[in-house]
Amino acid sequence: MKAIVFTRYGTPDVLQLKDVDIPSPDRDEVLVKIRAASINYVDWQVLRGKSFMLRLMNGILKPRRQILGDDIAGDVEMVGQDVTRFQPGDEVFGISNFYGFAEFACVPEKALANKPASMTFEEAAAVPEAGTTALQGLRDKGKIKPGQKVLIYGASGGVGTYAVQIAKSFEADVTGVCSTSKLEMVRSIGADQVIDYTHQDFTKNGQRYDLILAIGGFRSIFDYSRALKSQGVYVCAGGSAAQYFQATLLGPLISLTGDKKLGSMFTNPKPKDYEFLIELYEAGKVAPVIDRSYSLSEVPDALRYYGDGHARGKIVITIGNN
C-alpha cells in the first residue's frame, strides 16, 4: 500500500510517499481501507518533534511510528476474530492513532463508529478529534448551560469551528475570537459576536464570560481569569505549550483561591461522542467546516498550508476512490 512516511523529525520536506506492507489486524482490531483522513494540530507537532512530551511518546531521536494522521474514514476490509460491532463492507470513521495518511490502517474496534450515509467520507474524517475536543471541552469540562455567555478563543480552526456550532446547539450566546480574514466565516457558522484579536483585546472590552474555551494562541491564564464572571470556567484545549502548561499547573491552584474554575483538558475520543456529534449533524446544528482537500501524495503541501496558519476549519486528505 501507499503511505506518507517520515523517518526523522523536521519540516514537511522530510515526508515521503512510499510502498509499505498492509498491516494485519489483531484480535480486537479492524482493518480499514481509508477513503479520507484529516490533519490535526498533533500531526504538526509530532512531525516537527518540537514537544518533548511527544518525543517521549514517539521516540527521542527519531519517530517510532512513522505514519502521521489520527482521523480517518473508510470501509472495513477485514476484522479480528474478537470484533463484534463491524463486518467487511461497513463504512466507519474514528481515530487511527497515527496511521491515517495511508491506504489502510488497523484500528481498535472501540475507536470506531459507523459512518452515517448522510455524511461523506471527507466530512466524517473531519469529525473525530476536533469534534470530540470541542464537545468534551464545552459539555464535560466546561459544563455549558443554555443562556451562558461563551467565548471561543481560536474559533476559526478545526476545533474552534466545531466549538462555535456546538455551543450554539446548547443555546449559548457565543463570541468567537480569530484573525481579520476569518471573521466572516466564524460569523457564518453561528457566532453571535466576533472579535478580531489583531485589533481588539477581549480582556479589556468590559465583557465577562461564563465559559471560555481556549484552543489557539497564547494568553496568560490571568488574562483569562479576569475575563470570567464569578463562578466562570476556563478550559484550555490547545494553543502554545506555555498556555497549556499554565492551565494545567496554575489553573488548579488559582481555582482554590477564588470562585472561578481554571484548567486544561485531555481529549478522550469515544464512539458515543461521535454518535452525539452525528445527531447534531443530522439535526442540521453542526457541520464540518472543510477548508481544502488534498490527495495522499500532497500531504506535505497540506501540512505546509496548515503550518502557515491559513486553515479555516479542517484540512482533509482524500485517499483512493471516493
Please give the tally of structural domains in the chain.
Answer: 2
Lookup: cell for 158: 478545526
CATH number at 67 reads 3.90.180.10
How does DSSP classify residue 204? G
pLDDT of residue 56: 86
Q: Is 129:165 a contact under the CB 8 Å cutoff?
A: no
Kindly write down the DSSP assignment for every residue of 235-250, as one continuous string: EE-SS-HHHHHIIIII
Residue 167 and residue 157: Cα distance in Å, rounded?
15
pLDDT of residue 230: 96
Q: Which residue has the higher pLDDT, 240 or 44?
A: 44
Both 119 and 134 in one domain: the answer is no
- Is residue 283 a part of any domain in this protein? no
Both 228 and 311 in one domain: the answer is no
> How do residues 59-113 score in pLDDT, each as one tens digit?
999 999 999 999 999 999 999 999 999 999 999 999 998 889 999 999 999 999 9
Orientation angle between helical segments 128-135 and 158-169, nearest 10 degrees: 50
- Residue given cell 489483531 in the structure block: 26
- Is residue 276 a part of any domain in this protein? no
> How do residues 187-234 score in pLDDT, each as one tens digit?
999 999 999 999 999 998 889 999 999 998 889 999 999 999 999 999
> How do residues 178-192 score in pLDDT, each as one tens digit?
999 999 999 999 999
Is pLDDT at 321 greater than 90 in this prediction? no
207: left (phi over 0), alpha (psi -120 to 50) or beta: beta
Is pLDDT at 34 greater than 90 in this prediction? yes
Look at residues 46, 39, 70 and name the one whose alpha carbon lies nearest to residue 60.
46
Q: Which domain holds residue 301?
A: 2-127+288-318
- Is residue 184 a part of any domain in this protein? yes
Both 149 and 117 in one domain: the answer is no
pLDDT category at 322 given cuts 50, 70, 90 is low
Q: Is 114:282 a contact under the CB 8 Å cutoff?
A: no
Last residue of a domain, one of 231, 248, 264: 264
- Is residue 251 a part of any domain in this protein? yes
Q: Is the pTM of this model over 0.85?
A: yes
Q: Where are the alpha helices (DSSP H) in 107-261?
A: 121-125, 128-135, 158-169, 183-188, 221-226, 241-245, 251-256
Both 25 and 74 in one domain: the answer is yes
- Is residue 104 a part of any domain in this protein? yes
